[in-house]
Amino acid sequence: MTERRRDGVLREAEMGPVVPSAERLARGPVVIVECVENIPCNPCVAACPKGAIAIRGDINDTPVVDFETCDGCRVCISACPGLAIFAVDATGDPALVSIPYEFRPLPETGEIVTTLDREGAESGEGKVVRVLSAKALDRTPIVTIEVPKNLAMRVRHFRRKPDRGGTS
Amino acid sequence: MKEDVVICRCEDITYGEIVDAVRGGLTTTEEIKRILRCGMGPCQGRTCSRLIVRIISQETGVPVAEVRFPVVRPPSRPVEIGVMAAGGPPDGNPSGGEYDAD
Amino acid sequence: MRIREHPILEFERGREVEFDFDGRRLCGHEGETIAAALHASGVRVLRKSIRHGRPRGFFCAIGRCSSCLMTVDGVPNVMTCVTPLRRGMKVETQTGKGTLAAEAKGAGSIAGDGSGSDLGTVPLAIVGAGPAGLSAAVYAGRLGVESVVVDENEVPGGQLIKQTHMFFGSLEHYARVRGVDIGTQLCRELEKCPSKLLTGTTVLGLYTDDPPWKTLSLMKNGVRGELRARTVVLATGASENMLAFENCDLPGVYGAGAVQTLMNVYGVAPGERVLMVGAGNIGLIVGYQLLQAAVDVAAVIDAMDEIGGYHVHAAKIRRMGVPILTSHTILSAGGTDRVERATISRVDSDWQPVEGTERTIDVDTICLAVGLTPNCELASMAGCDDEYVPELGGLVSAHDADLETSVPGVFIAGDASGIEEASTAMLEGRLAGLAAVERLEVEVDREKLLAMKEEAASGLSELRAGPFGDRPRLGKERMLALAASRGGDR
Ligand SMILES: Cc1cc2nc3c(=O)[nH]c(=O)nc-3n(C[C@H](O)[C@H](O)[C@H](O)COP(=O)(O)OP(=O)(O)OC[C@H]3O[C@@H](n4cnc5c(N)ncnc54)[C@H](O)[C@@H]3O)c2cc1C
Ligand code: FES
């Protein structure tokens, strides 16, 4: 049994196929689909306008991203019922991480937030650069934050600072 | 488990009382229901039946799958006696279920 | 404790009304339940237990467990978790059993059209308006077969009305749609069908002593009625399992469904800080929903050595800092008349607490998500055989591949026929509805009927093909083998 089944934290060892190469990451934005279990689910496939996500066998297979076709457009993020899709743009430093965020109140652009990793541990600060909450996202807004490039593959959530009156 | 843990909420029957009953020879849910009244309250055993079956199994060594659950009788929900009286159930059994409303 | 801003839901609350609680004047919203209004005002103790005088709050919040009985306007034993609040009500903490005024009710009519208590006959009656029941009605309806769907809840949708998250599954079967919205969509489909929906109506009994007729005994607002049907689909869902531990009856120990009802139906936060017991999908999802309602989740614990639910659900709460402690159990709840703390400990591989690993955490709510048991009481009353199949959730009515029970013309579908998912419940409901139509021997396009059945059956196998489908698949296989070995002559 993997440690993940025991504590719910995805570790690098299991992330092989999920993560694009360093070269690809440096070339442009891309999505990271952190969906590693065989569960019956497929909306991400249809959500991608480029056809970059495939589920090869039956509906229980894990999605595979064609990193050459994916341009990190983020349309799939709000389509994932597991909120397991993130987008990373590591072409510069700071890098940009886009996160599905179903909490209220939403952060504001320019706000400094505390960034959290997959275990919920604080990993530093990030600046909110975009908040998408269009109707088409069906109540799963996407928040993009600037984080140090070396944390781009670690930051997966954030907490609003208490003095902003937010809750999470 | 502690003796005084409440297993049947409706009739306020504890773990200790059920264990004593099983050790005293009441090894089916029907017997326990008749003597201790668990399963006869307004919830009709919905909350406690599974727990009681587990206790019987643990005390007697009979696998859970073989301990019979109590027999289900209408009505499936508590009904006021007045409502029962106002219109008899189709099978003509005016008292219907075992929920007594005293 | 009312949730003011929610990322998914908007609460439509009725007008504010005053009511009386043990001589105190409190405010609530018309239409919400008495228990919800009391909870929103911080009242957790609703009654004193009958023998030991122990404080009790609500537990199931859907009228099943009797924990919430109070005296309302002088009438004792009122289930306050399902009774709507009205202005000026006099609500009292009940001590003991209460004495019942045996006043006869019985005015009005169930169908709401003055037809009296005899609702006549119908080819197909469906009990439960969850995903399974609604699908059964919709698919029978597509073949032109009339049905009546009965649900005790005022709002149709079953479990779906509390699910704020997007569902998994395939796009053709509502994946990525939020549970609440699936319910609404199914109801819209139903409107196009020759089907009648009776909400707020409980099925008290099912009698099959006059074949081929099945008689359903119904009750709405204290008025009783009778409906006769040629075929019946039982889609009654499941009930939550209870867990026994010290002080497990203390107010503040709630079932996960109760927490969802309070939070997602009435917009009342169950507490400030919650311990979730159970790391299956329900525990993980309700944990996340609590965070969405701005309630703190201290931890999610599970006695198993691994997380039972999907990783993605676990990951959502982990990254918000909620620990998931597998191989842990709850030993006790602490507090005088409400939960103030919980003591947990590690368990060994035999699920026995490991001494010296006890830990006490401050929480005001303990939420139990420790499994479901299929509701097959009506089937039992009708004389359907049952089988104990642990993979399906315990005692389940025996059924064949068409979901027909041992009583011809009585079908069982959805969680009632084995605990699974809404996606499978919809397909099972569909299959049962179609099989019922087949049983009816009415004039229908047979080829179309068989094709539709085949589609539903293959959809079910596909959904059960993954590792998480192992359990129900094995359960269903065992059930089919058991049913076949029993009733070879059918
Ligand atoms: C927290 C949580 C999260 C979930 N997430 C998912 C998910 O992501 N994807 C998924 O596919 N599934 C999910 N499920 C499971 C899904 O909700 C259930 O499997 C599904 O609702 C079962 O449908 P059903 O129609 O069999 O029963 P239900 O939805 O339970 O409906 C049964 C109905 O029958 C009525 N009823 C029962 N007895 C009577 C009676 N005697 N008289 C009248 N009416 C009666 C009840 O009022 C109820 O409305 C989740 C469940 C929970 C609790
Ligand atoms: S019956 Fe009301 S809480 Fe269970």
pLDDT per residue as tens digits for the range C336-350: 999 999 999 999 999
pTM for this predicted structure: 0.93
Phi, psi of C69 (to 5 degrees): -65, 130
d(CA C86, CA C259): 23
Task: Give pLDDT, residue C115.
Answer: 52
d(CA C228, CA C136): 18
Restricting to C residues 386-425, those with a Cβ less than 8 Å away from any Cβ of B are 388, 390, 394-395
Task: Give pLDDT, residue C102.
Answer: 43
Contacts of B85 in chain C (CB under 8 A): 102, 104
Of the pLDDT bands very low, low, confident and very high (cuts 50, 70, 90), residue B95 is very low
CA of C131 to the centre of ligand 1 (A): 7
Nearest neighbour of C77 by CB, restricted to B66, B96, B101: B101
Q: Which atom of ligand 2 is nearest to the CA of C69?
A: 2
With a pLDDT cut of 90, the percent of chain B lying above it is: 36
Neighbour subunits, A (≥3 Cβ pairs < 8 A):
C
Contacts of B78 in chain C (CB under 8 A): 66, 77, 79
Task: Give pLDDT, residue C116.
Answer: 60
Task: Give pLDDT, residue C112.
Answer: 57
Q: What's the whole-number average pLDDT of chain C?
A: 93
Verify whether the Cβ–Cβ distance B82 to C77 is below 8 Å: no
Is the peptide bond prior to A105 cis by the omega test (within 30 degrees of 0)? yes
- Does the CB of C239 have a partner CB in chain B at under 8 Å? yes
Task: Give pLDDT, residue B87.
Answer: 57
How high is the ipTM of this complex?
Answer: 0.95
Who contacts C390 (Cβ-Cβ below 8 Å, separation ≥6)? Answer: B64, B65, C475
- Cβ < 6 Å from ligand 1: which residues? B 76; C 127-133, 150-153, 158-160, 163, 167-169, 202-203, 235-237, 281-282, 285-286, 375, 378, 414-416, 420-423, 425
Angle at C68 between CA C392 and CA C163, to 5 degrees: 45
Best of C62, C234, C249, C387 to disrupt the B interface by mutation (most B CBs within 10 Å)? C249
Task: Give pLDDT, residue B98.
Answer: 35
Nearest neighbour of B43 by CB, restricted to C66, C101, C395: C66
Handedness of CA A34, A38, A42, A48 (dihedral sign): positive
Q: Read off the pLDDT of each residue in C299-322 and give the average, rounded to a whole number.
A: 97
Q: Which own/partner contact pairs does C348-351 have at CB distance under 8 Å and 24+ positions apart?
A: C349/C305, C351/C303
Q: pLDDT at residue C360 above 50?
A: yes
d(CA C68, CA B42): 11
d(CA A74, CA A29): 9
Which residues is C332 bridged to in the sheet? C246, C343
Angle at C490 between CA B69 and CA C234, to 5 degrees: 50
Task: Give pLDDT, residue A46.
Answer: 94
- Does the CB of A3 have a partner CB in chain C at under 8 Å? no
Q: Which of the two residues, B2 and C151, has the higher pLDDT score?
A: C151
Domain boundary assignment for chain A: 12-163
Q: Which atom of ligand 1 is nearest to the CA of C285?
A: 1
d(CA C197, CA C119): 13
Of the pLDDT bands very low, low, confident and very high (cuts 50, 70, 90), residue C109 is low
Task: Give pLDDT, residue C99.
Answer: 62
Top-confidence range, A82-91, C67-76, C166-175: A82-91
Neighbour subunits, C (≥3 Cβ pairs < 8 A):
A, B
Verify whether the Cβ–Cβ distance C312 to A121 is below 8 Å: no
Beta strands in chain B (DSSP E): 6-8, 13-14
Contacts of A1 in chain C (CB under 8 A): 305-306
Task: Give pLDDT, residue A166.
Answer: 46
Residue C72 and residue C22 in contact, taking contact as beta carbons nearer than 8 Å: no
Q: How many residues does chain C have?
A: 490
Contacts of B89 in chain C (CB under 8 A): 204-205, 217, 224
Q: What is the pLDDT of residues B15-62, one digit of tens each?
A: 999 999 999 999 999 899 889 988 787 888 888 889 999 999 999 999
Residue B37 and residue B11 in contact, taking contact as beta carbons nearer than 8 Å: yes
Instruction: Give the distance from residue B33's alpha carbon to the nearest chain C alpha carbon, in angstroms.
Output: 16
Who contacts C31 (Cβ-Cβ below 8 Å, separation ≥6)? Answer: C13, C14, C84, C85
Q: Exposure of B66 by Cβ count < 10 A (0-12 exposed, 13-18 middle, 19+ buried)?
A: exposed
Task: Give pLDDT, residue B92.
Answer: 38
d(CA C317, CA C319): 5
Restricting to C residues 424-483, those with a Cβ less than 8 Å away from any Cβ of B are none
Q: Read off the pLDDT of each residue in C245-259 and give the average, rounded to a whole number.
A: 96
Task: Give pLDDT, residue B97.
Answer: 34
Q: Which atom of ligand 1 is nearest to the CA of C419?
A: 19
Verify whether the Cβ–Cβ distance A102 to C7 is below 8 Å: yes
Q: What is the pLDDT of residues A97-106, one digit of tens each?
A: 999 999 999 9
Q: What is the pLDDT of residues C79-96, one digit of tens each?
A: 999 999 999 999 999 987
Task: Give pLDDT, residue C396.
Answer: 95
Q: pLDDT at residue C215 above 50?
A: yes
Task: Give pLDDT, residue C173.
Answer: 79
Of the pLDDT bands very low, low, confident and very high (cuts 50, 70, 90), residue C227 is very high
CA of C128 to the centre of ligand 1 (A): 9
- Does the CB of C66 have a partner CB in chain B at under 8 Å? yes
Q: pLDDT at residue B101 above 70?
A: no
d(CA C397, CA C409): 14
Q: Read off the pLDDT of each residue in C359-380 and give the average, rounded to a whole number.
A: 96
d(CA C281, CA C311): 9
Q: Which atom of ligand 2 is nearest to the CA of C61?
A: 3
Provide the 8-state DSSP code for C261: I
CB neighbourhood size of A150 (10 A): 12
Mean pLDDT for each consecutive 10-residue tract of chain A (168 residues)? 92 90 96 95 94 92 96 96 97 97 96 97 97 91 97 97 63
Q: pLDDT at residue C108 above 60?
A: no
- Does the CB of C425 have a partner CB in chain A at under 8 Å? no
Q: What is the pLDDT of residues C438-463, one digit of tens each?
A: 999 899 999 999 999 999 999 999 88
Q: Write the Ramachandran bin of A87: left for phi over 0, alpha for psi from -120 to 50, otherwise beta.
A: beta
Q: pLDDT at residue C420 above 50?
A: yes
CB neighbourhood size of C335 (10 A): 18
d(CA A1, CA C303): 16
Phi, psi of B66 (to 5 degrees): -100, -5
* Domains recognised in chain B with CATH numbers: 1-90 (1.10.10.1100)
